[in-house]
Amino acid sequence: MNKLNTILYIILVFCLSVGFAACDADPDDDMQKPASKGRRTVLIYMCAENSLGSSRYHLSDSAEIVKGRAYIDPQDRLLMYIDDNKNPRLYQIDAGHEAPVLKRSWSEDLCSTSPDTMREILAWTAECFPAAEYGLVMWSHADGWIPAQKAVSADGQNACAAPYSWGIDVGAGGNLSSDKGADGKIGSQMDIEDMAWAIEQSGMHLKYIFFDACLMQSLEVAYALRHSADYVVASPIAITAYGANYTHQLERGLFADSVEQIVKTYHADITDPQQVNVYSDSGIVFAVVRTDALEQLAQATQMALQLSDLLADSIPDLEGLQHYHTYSSVFRYRPHYFDARIAMKYLLTPQAFAIYDEALSKAVVWQEATSRFWAGPSYYSYIDVDKDNYCGVAAFIPQEIYTKNATRCPQGDLNEAFLETAWSKAAGWHLLYEK
């Protein structure tokens, strides 16, 4: 961190700390409605009452946001909701103020992974900061589509602590650094279906959802959010905790006319030699999915599966095929997150794949990737990206090993969990089990 950034960081921490002490009023007391409807309102939803918060990543990102305030056009509005080890606050950041302007505060803790909390904050944002279109940045831990629940072993005991679907909120008295609540269990998480419900019930339809979180770019996630946003911008890999460079995102990403600029900016920062001290050689894969093309893709998938007669046979082992996550006990047996294009090209006949690929190309409108990315669990564990064939969007493909390791996985049998997703049913994967 250079001298200027250090000064900005210290000022920001001081200002936010003053805000913590001074804002114990009723939330509606600070409500201020803009004089007119804006072009775009973007809400950064920071669920940081977890290990990311204990490591202060939300404060370093907040410093980047304040530094980038000069790039915010008067017709645009940026809001930042923060929930960490203090009671939640909601700020507005604009070019006319050197520090975040407090707009709302709460006198008690909120569970930011509760769909009711998210719905209420989104509804308030739409009412008080109306705009022609909206963007939402989801900032926290994440696991993609897999449900936030516990597996039970044969002896009736919990196999291991449940990981998160999206977010972790340890709540009052919880241990942020361990991601555990006061009861010693993993903090509260939000399933993707609940997130979709929260957005739709808020009355806010989003131009885009940008997940600055791990493993969120998949067909399962995007399909669940197809009625919530026009575009889903996310990564299928476990991204670095440093996340986006928000100064640059405010300059040329979050308010750009083209949603693809968010991905271009993210990729440029990860590969920037001037930022190697932050990102090292972690690498990145990011993509943009257009949600109004997903129904057609689901129909094409079902047709392609039937044409290939794949549903009549067992799914072959895809170990070694392009994937985005290391399947390991270290990572609590989360799935491989196979690349949707590469996996289906391997599984389908050429005729069937042509049908599938045409629909996929309409849904995945942009992707960027480095030649490789860090995947763990060791320091030297990398996965190479098949740049000639990848699409940058993950897809779950049933595998026998998921059933074999069901008692060791927090979600139990991932193949069965997959059957409960809206994508599985729409794309015809459930027919595999019916046969």
Q: What domains can you pick out in the chain, each with its CATH number?
A: 3-213+240-281 (3.40.50.11970), 292-369+391-434 (no CATH)
The whole-number pLDDT of residue 7 equals 47
Helix (H) or strand (E) holding 270: helix 260-270
Question: What single letter denotes the amino acid at residue 133?
Answer: E
Q: What is the mean pLDDT of residues 292-311?
A: 93
> Can you tell me the distance from the alpha carbon of 411 to that of 36, in angstroms, rounded to the nearest whole number?
47
> Can you tell me the distance from the alpha carbon of 150 to that of 398, in angstroms, rounded to the nearest whole number?
20
Q: What is the mean pLDDT of residues 397-418?
A: 93
DSSP E strands, 235-284: none
- Inter-residue contact 220 to 148 (CB < 8 Å): no
The whole-number pLDDT of residue 32 equals 58
| pLDDT reading at 178 higher than 60 | yes
Other beta carbons within 10 Å of 132: 11
pLDDT, tens digit, for every residue of 315-325?
A: 888 988 999 99
pLDDT, tens digit, for every residue of 243-290?
A: 999 999 999 999 999 999 999 999 999 999 999 999 999 999 999 999
Closest by CA to 247, choosing from 216, 280, 272, 281, is 272
Q: How far is CA 162 from CA 8, 189, 213, 422, in A?
A: 37, 10, 18, 22
The whole-number pLDDT of residue 316 equals 86
Which of 147-151, 169-173, 239-243, 413-417 is the least confident region? 147-151
Q: What is the mean pLDDT of residues 391-411?
A: 94
| pLDDT reading at 187 higher than 60 | yes
| pLDDT reading at 154 higher than 90 | no
* DSSP tag of 323: B
| pLDDT reading at 379 higher than 60 | yes
| pLDDT reading at 131 higher than 70 | yes
Beta-strand relationship, 101-105 and 89-93: antiparallel
In sign, the C-alpha dihedral spanning 274, 280, 285, 290 is negative
Structure tokens at 427: 């794309």
- Inter-residue contact 398 to 415 (CB < 8 Å): yes
Please report which confidence band the pLDDT of residue 431 belongs to, taking 50, 70 and 90 as the band edges.
confident
The whole-number pLDDT of residue 15 equals 53
pLDDT, tens digit, for every residue of 22-58?
A: 333 344 444 556 668 999 999 999 999 999 999 999 9
Helix (H, G, I), strand (E, B) or coil at 397: coil
Residue reference for tokens 């979709």: 196
User: Would you list the DSSP string of 137-205?
Assistant: EEES-B-TTS-S---B-TTSSB-S----SEEEE--TT-BGGGTB-TTSSBPEEE-HHHHHHHHHHHTPP
Q: How high does pLDDT run on average in the chain?
A: 89
The whole-number pLDDT of residue 24 equals 35
| pLDDT reading at 94 higher than 50 | yes
User: Would you list the DSSP string of 224-235?
Assistant: HTTTTEEEEEE-
How much is the CA Rg of the chain, to the nearest whole Å? 21
The whole-number pLDDT of residue 161 equals 41
Q: What is the mean pLDDT of residues 98-104?
A: 95
> Can you tell me the distance from the alpha carbon of 298 to that of 118, in angstroms, rounded to the nearest whole number?
28
In sign, the C-alpha dihedral spanning 136, 139, 140, 143 is positive
pLDDT, tens digit, for every residue of 56-93?
A: 999 999 999 999 999 999 999 999 999 999 999 999 99
